[in-house]
Structure 1
């Protein structure tokens, strides 16, 4: 089959655009089909978590995201000023924010940041308040710079998948591709047409999120508020509201959202009857429908983001989960397209991402359960609230919310293996993230070990090799980092008690110079990057 593009991505939201960028970095031709003619301005997720921030940092996008965050912080400051001017009581900046669980705030001043799970994310740790709309605009611009073809106003209507490619039908003609990836949301057309099973649990809530112009808001509590009739949120920007009611899903999720509907919901949940909503700037309904496909791949058709898993939006988990999917899938699909992928590489996409998706579904179900406005749940909520006043509980919940707990089950005993690589400060003045911008894997030689570097010979542009000292982790001697930032192999230098004696004994197991450690490096290189070949492209 002659292809119009190596890969077609259905859906031009943040997940589809991130995937397209990752593919384009590897010289894979990509067409993105997006049914909307402009960036979606509907209010959605307002923040990114640690894995997402690290991913964008490693691709050189952190300065742009930091500028977006400055705007978000200014909107929060404006919200506080407006409340003070309106005479709202108890208006003051909250303590350092560490996230929330079911609307129970986590105080950053109770966070044990020395916990090893927080690792060393570097400058990425300073950026998190990035609204989804702004992120989509940045990714669209980056995709254009990388040569991605974004076709707006085009709807995928069908496709025929075969062994050698996919013939796609759209509202604007047809095209042929080697692979189709559905990033087209919770009601994915790709998922439905491909016949993916979508088991899960049915919804029990109706949620609204909106930006509005209203009066009477000074009587509302700021932030998250749990009441006897549900949950509501006011802020952190002027006019932003969110309500959660536990009387079942909406009768029609597609019906226009009116000021009257939002006003009735907010009055019901908050108990403030003087609220008057005069204008709706942007609004959305949501539920806690929680479902996940068992396998993210069916032949030449794959799913990512909400197309593969849906759940309630609390904490912006959906956006972040989807960005993780795109990072994991991008380089693996590119390797498959370019012909150097080792056997089974593409199947590791489901193997690694499905467990994290399943955890997110359970995490959001637990939050919905803890938000129910009945007496037993409210008693349990009191217990959890008391727990989050401790360092241990705050640290536990914050690690889960931030995503720093995430780890893939990879071979190897080193504590870094399977985790996001630390953003090491190197002796040449660079940081580890600086060497990941091109989307290739990196073998970092921190002990000037020629034998270690020799193991990567023949991998060409699949694995870059860099030799440098490490300023703050002198015990770390070598690191193999996949294109998605995951540590595939690591080794330490021998400590004083591990120094080989003078009898000619080989290096200590677990150090770069030892046969055992280098054998593990060989295995990791073959597992993720195939057979070395000096002619590989």
Structure 2
């Protein structure tokens, strides 16, 4: 074994979550090494976009336009889907639901470039094969091109997927369930002569294909006709695969489509350069790690939670976990974290994971088969006509319905900061580009004076919030409000600063 190397933080897994965490740590002045056993970024399009509050998080880091969003802030969605049923969000007050079309391979490449530009050491072809930890640090054992070596670190984060070696090594329970379904998914080509006058594909003997998830009498299908030229088609059937099932193929998908649709679906192999999606899922796991942290090792992304892709919650959940963890872990490494700060990663994000598990399983139940489910879908369709139900679902699917316990009673505290504009024309989101906490002082300088002892950690901004009575606003690096007040004397500000950003310079 080669001599030991060292790093402040080792991250196992160079997917979107692992790379984003490395970027967050770098913004906070903490170096990391990202390990991945693959030789480089993969090309298989595992997801097609981002949905939920994560789109606003990208805006806060200046990544929204880089990921393909238009100029300006993101706009709320007028509609979305729940278990294949349309949801009309028009008229929902302060609608938090956002979306951005971008395939996962591009997300990985953009984040890898950002990470390298920030000085992160990304090591493709270096696989974590084991770890041990003590009270003082973690030893990561790595298999690289030159053999096995030991990489010492203060902390290690497992962002290594649903079959996480890190989670298994820690012995963390991964309770949940597996659906009794088989999903077959592939990129395909549909002949142009199947397009109707409205541009939709029409299958002879069946009718038009509808986008997203759809429920039929003998199964279900998922269809996406993406403007970039990719056409993705999937079938969902009840049952499980036999142990000797052959590998997934286009013929396998054709046979499944005929069982589901009752007619032949004349799709062809995909056109253009690959690689193209071609995979089969024998059951869909819905599982949540019992703990997100064991000592100096933490879990992130699919290593901490797996669920159905229905509704697109995956990267919304994982990337928000990332920005929640990044600044807290950096504070711990740099030595100014208040007691218990790192533990709030689990206490804040585990309930959000539970909510995603809940609505993921609910959607799977609503696309199951039987007359009782037909009746339930009819009732659900009536309920979503109610404005308060639509608003509730918008917040649920966006991940905006869980309030963090930040110790402050203001209605904004504990939630992602609203879309706000300052009297100098700047948006509050633009103040968070560098991943630093921000104190907005509209009191004429009183709050900045109180917070002067934290100026090395907190950005002090003298400005007023347009069309708002709020005079003081403390926003954490992850975009969540830690304190707000409409009173000029600023009650509770010192307590909030100490709770989240440690002792003042004078106290230290």
The TM-score normalised by the length of structure 2 is 0.88
Of 213, 217, 220, 1:228 maps to 217
Match of 1:180 in 2: 156
Displacement, 1:330? Answer: 0.3
Secondary structure at the aligned position of 2:276 is classed as strand
**Match for residue 118 of structure 2?**
146
Find the aligned partners of 1:414 and 1:32 in 2 and give their Cα distance.
Answer: 39
Rounded Cα–Cα distance in structure 2 between residues aligned with 1:413 and 1:382: 39
Question: What pairs up with 1:11-410 in 2 under 5 angstroms?
Answer: 11-67=13-69, 97-108=78-89, 111-113=90-92, 115-116=93-94, 118=95, 128-172=100-144, 173-215=149-191, 218-219=202-203, 220-223=208-211, 224-237=213-226, 238-248=230-240, 251=243, 256-279=247-270, 281-286=276-281, 287-410=283-406
Match of 1:9 in 2: 11
CA deviation vs aligned residue, 1:112-168 (integer Å, no higher than 9, x gap)? 23x24x37xxxxx77522332222221111111111111112211111111111111
Task: Confirm or deny: 8 A CA contact 1:479 1:487 kept in the other structure.
Answer: yes
Query: CA-to-partner distance for each residue in 1:445-464, whole Å, 9 max, x for gaps?
Result: 122142x2122122233111
Question: Does the aligned pair in 1 maintain the 2:36–2:125 contact within 8 Å?
Answer: yes
Distance 1:213 1:289 in 2: 29
Q: CA deviation at 1:221?
A: 1.7
Structure 1, residues 482-512: CA drift from partner, whole Å, max 9, x if none?
A: 11111000011xxxxxxxxxxxxxxxxxx13
Name the CA distance, whole Å, in 1 between partners of 2:346 and 2:432.
23
d(CA) in 2 for partners of 1:252, 1:214: 30
SS at match of 1:401: helix
Shift of 1:528: 0.5
Counterpart residue number, 1:483: 477
Rounded to whole Å, the distance in 2 between the matches of 1:195 and 1:103 is: 37
Find 2:488's aligned residue among 512, 517, 533.
512
Change (3 A) 1:13 1:308: same
Does the C-alpha gap of structure 1 residues 529 and 98 become closer, same or farther in structure 2, counting only changes over 3 Å?
Answer: same
Displacement of 1:315 after TM fit? 1.4
- Distance (whole Å) between structure 2 residues aligned to residue 469 and residue 211 of structure 1: 51
Structure 1 stretches of 4+ moved >6 Å: none
Report if aligned partners of 1:3, 1:178 keep a CA contact under 8 Å in 2: no
SS of 2:403's partner is coil
Distance in 2 (alpha carbons) for counterparts of 1:127 and 1:364: 18
For the residue of structure 1 that corresponds to 2:67, the secondary structure is helix
Structure whose residues are more often helix by fraction: 1
Q: CA RMSD in A?
A: 2.4
Kept after mapping to 1: 8 A contact 2:12/2:160: yes
Q: Point out the more displaced range, 138-147 or 205-214.
A: 205-214
Matched residues in 2 for 1:68 and 1:288: separation? 34
Between 462-471 and 268-277, the greater mean CA deviation after superposition: 268-277
